[in-house]
Amino acid sequence: MSDCRRQWNREDELPVYLAGPITTGSNQRKTYGMFSSVEGAFESKTIDFENYAVGRKGSRTPRSGSRERLLDTGDPISKLPSEARESSLNGSPGERDEARSRAEVRFSSGTENLNGKSERLLIKGGRVVNDDQSFYADVYIEDGLIKQVGENLVVPGGVKVIEANGRMVIPGGIDVNTCLMKSYLGTQPVDDFFQGTKAALAGGTTMIIDHVAPQPGDSLLEAFERWQEAADKKACCDYSLHVDIPQWNENVKDELELLVQDKGINSFQVYMAYKDVYQMTDSELYEAFSFLKQLGAVVLVHAENGDLIAQEQRKILGMGITGPEGHPLSRPEELEAEAVFRAITLGNRVNCPVYITKVMSKSAADTITQARRKGSVVFGEPITASLATDGSHYWSKNWAKAAAYVTSPPLSPDQTTPDHLHTLLACGDLQVVGSSHCAYSTSQKAIGKDDFTLIPEGINGVEERMGFVWDKAVTMGKMDENQFVAVTSTNAAKIFNLYPRKGRIAVGSDADIVIWDPDSVKTITAKLQQSAAEYNIFEGLECRGGPVLVLSQGQVVYEEGKLHAQQGTGRFIPRKPFPDYAYQRVKFRNQVKRKQGVTRGIYDGPVYDVAPTPKYITPSPSAKTSPTSHQPPPIRNLHQSNFSLSGAQIDDNIPRRSGHRIVAPPGGRSNITSLG
């Protein structure tokens, strides 16, 4: 990195991609340096803001039939506006000087611009931290996009300047797991998209991916649109959606295809728990995995063995345990590890990437680690709660407190769990951090006051997520700042195909940026949180590290403890299928894993006569139910044409047979009926 810095210090040798919009024309911008990931997408250095603006405006309009969603995030170029912008910039060299002088004044004109039309911002003197490297550079932002990264940037006038004073400038966090609209028995979580995204922004998270949770029997598409509508109205930050598949049938397939191809969804959750409601059998999972793999989607798995949970719940209720402690007792971590193992096995068989949501226990995390060591394409997502607290609180005498911790899989009562999960997160065995934020009020939780199985499941964590990862992993020396960025933002963007638009500070990326203060200390308490819930499961914990300033879409939304979030500014970010991060390996494996049968002569020995209606059924009757077994497979016909010949052992003039007989096959002689 040091030589890069040296380069930038000499202004005349400023890399072309940094000098971009002002000093050079679009035709000169052929070679790219480290930010080549955006090559071709931003040729003229000027983004088609209108294009995004359409998306933004559109997302506020009510759902209207076949409104076109912006699927192609990589190519938002449109000639007309960019040229206009360029000419205006090039035509006013004087403004450049003005801008500089203003930059030194700091904030002189910034305040008036904050709410004004101009969306230009310059972050000066910060240390840009991406997942791969950290370097000192200024960041210039215009219209919600990062336009320049480098030192001594030439920026137009009227720019608000933010002095970072050497603090870290990191890509805004992406919370991959929130449930802000997941209704339970008719009640909605107290944090809706407004409350939830506000909390997210206050914690340094500038994008959430929420779970669309349709009920069994509901249309996925309708549920998706309901979620999108609600989020468009209320969300304060960009969002995307996972869709949960509550049950598997033929109708679902069509809807999934539509969601992937037209709606910009590339991740779907299936459940291995919640027997008789969401749970899928292994066969259904196999089919779902196969189908989603064809679509290029990422399969999210809620991994717990629902059958056993149902049995354990019955047993524990039968023992008279009805309080929240019954929740972890009936869902021991072994059941989580078992389901994770099974999900990974399925993923391996289908050759499909598997993403385990909510890794809550050491054994589940270890199972993922081992599978990755064997080469499985599997991702693990610990959540704020499993990283910062443990399940001992389920035994609290305070019912409301104990119930507040109820989530599935439950927090592990093993107090060494958070530490272990942080270690795995730091070494890359677990990849992303979510929060699974799903806040219910105490009165909602009290639905299960006499029966722990009825307690609505959900905990908070969207606001505390980044802080705790910093506090427990980075300040402890387990993780460096780059890995911190990777697990809180970049990996999520890669897995869900948002990269490099999100998850990176680079020219052309969205201006979702956080200035991070590694030393600020705050005590978590429900009194000061943004969430509407009355409790906070991290109550009283001290957390070192937090955002000083949060930019979402190029706007300052959080500054010095003050939140300026605006309802409805969040855009839906569509995602394309086949994310490279998950699918590249899968594609190659597909090519390698072509199975071939053995070409043999036909068996011509005696065959035991089996009654047509077998009294004793074959031990593999499952094949009989398969639709293919009744019709003779294609190759068989080929063999059958040889049938008359196979009886003649010495007849070697059939080239196929004679050839085979010469070669000694692996493991035995080739004569078809002789016994080795």
Q: Residue 324: which of 415, 410, 383, 417 has the closest Cα?
A: 410
CA-based angle 252:253:259, to the nearest 5? Answer: 85
**Shortest distance (Å) from residue 614 CB to another protein:** 5
**Shortest distance (Å) from residue 247 CB to another protein:** 11
Is 62 an interacting residue with respect to another protein (CB under 8 A)?
A: no
CA atoms of 145 and 141, how far apart (whole Å): 6
**Shortest distance (Å) from residue 320 CB to another protein:** 3
- Between the alpha carbon of residue 449 and those of residues 452, 511, 570, the distances in Å are 7, 45, 37
- Displacement of CA 139 from its chain's centroid (Å): 26
Q: Name the residue nearer to another protein (CB basis): 405 or 499.
A: 405
Q: Which stretch binds another protein (CB under 8 A): 77-85, 191-199, 222-230, 604-612?
A: 604-612
Please provide the distance, in angstroms rounded to a whole number, between the alpha carbons at the two ends of the chain: 66
Q: Name the residue nearer to another protein (CB basis): 6 or 624.
A: 624
Q: Name the residue nearer to another protein (CB basis): 288 or 498.
A: 288
Q: Residue 344: which of 432, 282, 386, 435 has the closest Cα?
A: 282
Binding mask 287-306 for another protein (x = CB under 8 A): x-----------------xx
**Shortest distance (Å) from residue 652 CB to another protein:** 15
Among 140, 184, 194, 484, binds another protein (CB under 8 A): 184
Q: Name the residue nearer to another protein (CB basis): 1 or 277.
A: 277
Is 442 an interacting residue with respect to another protein (CB under 8 A)?
A: yes
**3-class secondary structure, 667:** coil
Q: Is 384 left (phi over 0), alpha (psi -120 to 50) or beta?
A: alpha
Among 447, 476, 563, 586, binds another protein (CB under 8 A): 447
Count of residues of this chain found to bind another protein when the rule CB under 8 A is applied: 126
Is 348 an interacting residue with respect to another protein (CB under 8 A)?
A: yes
b/e for 277-300, b at 16 or more Cβ within 10 A? Answer: ebbbeeeebbbbbebbbebbbbbb
Among 338, 463, 464, 510, binds another protein (CB under 8 A): 338
Among 62, 65, 477, 627, binds another protein (CB under 8 A): 627
417, 361 in Cβ contact below 8 A? Answer: yes
Binding mask 397-426 for another protein (x = CB under 8 A): xxxxxx-----x------------------
**3-class secondary structure, 511:** coil
Beta strands at 145-150 and 134-142: parallel, antiparallel or unpaired? antiparallel
**3-class secondary structure, 570:** coil
259, 224 in Cβ contact below 8 A? Answer: yes
**Residue 495 phi, psi (nearest 5):** -60, -40
Residue 191: CB atoms within 10 Å:
30
DSSP letter assigned to residue 26: G
Among positions 255-274, residues that touch another protein (CB under 8 A) are 274
Maximum CA pair distance of the chain?
A: 100
**Shortest distance (Å) from residue 256 CB to another protein:** 19
Q: Name the residue nearer to another protein (CB basis): 153 or 403.
A: 403
Among 24, 294, 369, 396, binds another protein (CB under 8 A): 396
239, 208 in Cβ contact below 8 A? Answer: yes
CA atoms of 418 and 416, how far apart (whole Å): 6
**Shortest distance (Å) from residue 621 CB to another protein:** 5
What is the number of residues in the chain?
Answer: 676
- Matching residue, tokens 């706007």: 555
Among positions 566-595, residues that touch another protein (CB under 8 A) are 595
**Shortest distance (Å) from residue 186 CB to another protein:** 4
DSSP letter assigned to residue 108: T
**Residue 98 phi, psi (nearest 5):** -55, -45
**Shortest distance (Å) from residue 640 CB to another protein:** 9
Is 665 an interacting residue with respect to another protein (CB under 8 A)?
A: yes
Among positions 514-543, residues that touch another protein (CB under 8 A) are 526, 534-535, 539-540
Among positions 455-514, residues that touch another protein (CB under 8 A) are 457
Q: Which two tokens stand for residue 380?
A: 């693990």
Is 40 an interacting residue with respect to another protein (CB under 8 A)?
A: no
Helix (H) or strand (E) holding 565: none
Among 41, 446, 532, 645, binds another protein (CB under 8 A): 446
Q: Which stretch binds another protein (CB under 8 A): 12-20, 118-126, 149-157, 277-285?
A: 277-285
How are the residues of the chain apportioned to helix, strand and coil, as percentages rounded to the nearest 5? 40, 15, 45
Q: Which stretch binds another protein (CB under 8 A): 37-45, 196-204, 233-241, 436-444?
A: 436-444
DSSP letter assigned to residue 187: B
Identify any residues that bridge with 510 across adjacent strands, giving them in sequence order. 145
Binding mask 314-333 for another protein (x = CB under 8 A): x-xxxxxxxx-xx--x--x-
Among positions 205-234, residues that touch another protein (CB under 8 A) are 215-216
Is 276 an interacting residue with respect to another protein (CB under 8 A)?
A: yes
Binding mask 605-624 for another protein (x = CB under 8 A): xxxx-xx--xxxxxxxxxxx
Among positions 636-655, residues that touch another protein (CB under 8 A) are 636
**Shortest distance (Å) from residue 632 CB to another protein:** 7
Among 267, 351, 444, 490, binds another protein (CB under 8 A): 444
Is 250 an interacting residue with respect to another protein (CB under 8 A)?
A: no
